[in-house]
Amino acid sequence: MPFLKPDFLVIFDLHCHSTASDGVLTPAALVARAHEQGVDVLSLTDHDDMRGQADAARAALALGLRYVPGVEISVTWSGHTLHIVGLGVDPEHPQLLAGLSANRAGRAERASQMGEALARVGIPGALEGAYAYAVNKDLIGRTHFARYLVEEGYVKDVKTVFKKYLVKGKPGYVHHQWASLTEAVAWVHAAGGQAVLAHPGRCNFGREKMRALLAEFRDLGGEAIEVVTGSHTPEQVPIYAELADEFGLYASSGSDFHAPGEDGRELGRLMSLPPICRPLWATW
């Protein structure tokens, strides 16, 4: 059922995934679904890969949806994994593509180690199982493992697989060194885009650590943080709105949609940015 929205509402969804990373819809099917859901401005932001961009842009053009090229870059900062979304990036920029390729390079080895680690706790065949879910084999990741464990009935849903097996301290977690924050922001800027700190509420940092991150990100020239995201609770939204304001950062908004029904997120179903926010798209 298409979402009936009032004419004055313009929906920006600037974060989602396709089969080019760990989403389940092809870029064209994702764009079609976004259109059905009333999204007006969309960015496909696959992890560490831009091979879905041309199809997404073409599908958006055919449907009259405004499209912003995007990517979500995995980063290691102070021993933690963070995600930086790049918006408005040139999908063919050599420096960005080289950086993403370097980030992808370790995924196969990490996946093998995850397979071995899961076998040690009584879950055999997870590597092959995960690869069966990865359309883009270069982008094998934790979500593919999670879907396999659900399929095999080890765990009831993807969210619970992460909690029990795939986060730091759990048996299937394997540390991986991603790009630095400096590199990720530099690649985005080199490609003509704007850098957005994705779902800051997922970092689970205390206040001081979050402030240190925001200060460093701003000093590197980072433009925005996701204030509204499928990862934030309604209580977290005003917290990050205030932080964006305090650090002079713009605010962005995106569902982080991966798969219909997988985690209750839907394309375009986003609360409005709080009035204190300066939307990133005001700069476009």
Beta strands in 138-202 (DSSP E): 194-197
**C-beta of 2: minimal distance to ligand AMP in Å?**
26
**C-beta of 248: minimal distance to ligand AMP in Å?**
27
Shorter beta-carbon distance to ligand AMP: residue 25 or 158: 158
Tell me phi and psi for residue 276, to 5 degrees.
Answer: -65, -20
Shorter beta-carbon distance to ligand AMP: residue 25 or 65: 25
Q: Is 173 exposed, middle or buried (0-12, 13-18, 19+ CB in 10 A)?
A: middle
Is 47 a binding residue for ligand AMP by CB under 6 A? The answer is yes
- Residue 165: name its binding partner from Mn ion, ligand AMP, none (Cβ under 5 to 8 Å by kind): none
Which one, of 78, 250, 107, 89, lies nearest residue 185 by Cα?
89
Residue nearest to Mn ion (CB): 83
**C-beta of 259: minimal distance to Mn ion in Å?**
10
Task: Give the residue, chosen from 18, 20, 22, 189, that forms a contact with ligand AMP under the rule CB under 6 A.
Answer: 22
**C-beta of 109: minimal distance to ligand AMP in Å?**
13
Q: Map the footprint of ligand AMP across residues 174-203, applying CB under 6 A.
A: none
Residues found near Mn ion in the complex (CB under 5 A): 22, 72, 83, 198, 256
- Residue 200: name its binding partner from ligand AMP, Mn ion, none (Cβ under 5 to 8 Å by kind): none
- Residue 34: name its binding partner from Mn ion, ligand AMP, none (Cβ under 5 to 8 Å by kind): none
Instruction: Tell me the sheet residues that pair with 194.
Output: 87
Measured CA to CA, the distance from residue 51 to residue 77 in angstroms comes to 26
Task: Count CB-CB contacts under 10 A for residue 79.
Answer: 8
Total number of residues that touch ligand AMP (CB under 6 A) = 10
Task: Give the residue, chosen from 74, 136, 194, 255, that forms a contact with ligand AMP under the rule CB under 6 A.
Answer: 74
Measured CA to CA, the distance from residue 53 to residue 90 in angstroms comes to 10
What residues have CB less than 8 Å from 243, skipping those under 6 apart?
200, 210, 211, 214, 225, 249
Shorter beta-carbon distance to ligand AMP: residue 63 or 155: 155
Measured CA to CA, the distance from residue 243 to residue 232 in angstroms comes to 14
Shorter beta-carbon distance to Mn ion: residue 49 or 72: 72
Q: Map the footprint of ligand AMP across residues 80-119, applying CB under 6 A.
A: none
Q: Is 144 exposed, middle or buried (0-12, 13-18, 19+ CB in 10 A)?
A: buried
Task: Count CB-CB contacts under 10 A for residue 131.
Answer: 16
Task: Give the residue, chosen from 82, 84, 87, 158, that forms a contact with ligand AMP under the rule CB under 6 A.
Answer: 158
**C-beta of 142: minimal distance to ligand AMP in Å?**
4
